[in-house]
Structure 1
Amino acid sequence: MGARRTEGAGIFAMTIHSTHPFADAEPDPARRFRGRVGGAVTLWTAGDDAERAGLTVSSHMVALGSEPTVLALLDPDSDLLEVLRETGRGVVQLLSWADRQLAEAFAGTAPAPGGPFRQAAFVATPYGPRLGSAATWAGVRLAGEREVGWSVEVAAVLEHVELGPDEAGDDPLLHRRGRFHRATP
């Protein structure tokens, strides 16, 4: 998920193609396999009021250890990756079913008049902008990156974690086979 977008100083540009980018006669089996894996949807943000960027990310995992680390696959052309590299810090927030339109806006697959950051309230943190309604989120420090396929795998150390009440996580936003889903009880 993702599109190239620039937001800052009141400038916002986004390109949405008129054709489906993966509408091949023979769909890539690896892409289809990845789509069936699915997972929780997160919003990654970085920067400050002067320059900030965000991206919807569903390809991620948490590796436990002496320095717990989030590993994620990011679009190498994303503004988020650029700002994350510049600041070395970011925010990873878990999205809920109610956030699906926001997830589409940050993925670049839905219109976001004024930019995706104007679609919800954000709170400044030492790690970057945090979605005001995010009950569970983490402040992370960029620890490394490498190219993997058509993506950049980032390793981000969990430095600060806020866990909302368990019931706040009962309606997570999930992504599978190219669509958002709601967890079934």
Structure 2
Amino acid sequence: MTIHGDHPFLPPENERSPVRRFRGRLPSPVGLWTTAHEGERAGLTVSSMLVADGEPGYVLGLIDPDSDLWETLRKARTAVVALLGEPHRQLADAFGYVAPAPGGPFRLIDWTDTDWGPAPAGAITWAGCTLVDPDPPEVGWAVQVQLEIVHVELAADDVPALVHRRGRYVTI
């Protein structure tokens, strides 16, 4: 067996989308979106997202319409958006389905059940949100999900933010 430094499913450079490569050069926050409905939990690492300040505030994100997260979020209509930091790389990979998580990614850390879904226990900043539209517009490969921020938990200790750029995690 040989271990390669490159991603095993990465297409050759001449076959990669120039738009995706353009987007990849933008630093993006790494968030973990989680939800639960009738005992079923779902989560997904999301880096195509932004937060809009205001009264109320919103989180906008691009979500794979075929993901378990989207299927469950449409039913639950609530979600937790957690901001991941340097210590959460393994969690980000597990919920991004690019790293193994025996028993599922929800077994990697402790969780607190909230009115909006499972929130990572401990010092992680997160927001409890409600889904604005269960039939959002399609944008490229994704659906453009809009969540209204209802509740915010700010971590006491600010850990270096995890950012995704050019297929890798970096911290700022």
Q: TM-score, normalised by structure 2?
A: 0.89
Asked if the contact 1:48/1:124 (under 8 Å) is kept, the reply is no
Of 14, 26, 39, 1:25 maps to 14
In the alignment, is residue 149 of structure 1 matched against residue 140 of structure 2? Answer: yes
Q: Which residue of 1 aligns with 2:69?
A: 80
2:14 is paired with a residue of what secondary structure? coil
* CA distance in structure 2 between the partners assigned to 1:164 and 1:34 by the alignment: 29
* CA separation of 1:169 and 1:99: change in aligned 2, threshold 3 A: same
Could you say which residue in structure 2 is the equivalent of 1:111?
A: 100
Q: Displaced runs of 4+ in structure 1, greater than 4 A?
A: none
2:122 to 116, 133, 140: 133
Alignment RMSD (CA, Å): 1.6
Give the length in aligned residue pairs: 164
Residue 10 of structure 1 corresponds to none
- Could you tell me how far 1:26 is from its partner in structure 2? 3.3
CA spacing shift, 1:140–1:103, aligned 2, 3 Å: same
Unaligned runs of 5+ in 1: 1-17
Give the alignment of 1:1-185 within 5 angstroms: 19-47=8-36, 50-144=39-133, 145-165=136-156, 168-183=157-172
Q: Distance in 1 between matches of 2:93 and 2:99?
A: 5
Hey, what's the Cα distance between the residues in 1 that align with 2:34 and 2:84?
A: 13
Runs of 5+ consecutive residues of structure 2 not aligned to the other structure: 1-6
Separation (CA, whole Å) in 1 of partners of 2:8 and 2:167: 15
Distance 1:129 1:73 in 2: 20
- State the 1:48 CA deviation: 5.2
Distance in 2, Cα, partners of 1:22 & 1:148: 22
Of stretches 42-51 and 122-131 in structure 1, the one that deviates more from structure 2 is: 42-51
Check conservation: 2:116, 2:128, Cα contact below 8 A. yes
1:162 Cα deviation from its structure 2 partner: 1.0
Report how far residue 49 of structure 1 moved.
Answer: 7.5
Distance 1:134 1:46 in 2: 19
TM-score, length basis structure 1 = 0.83
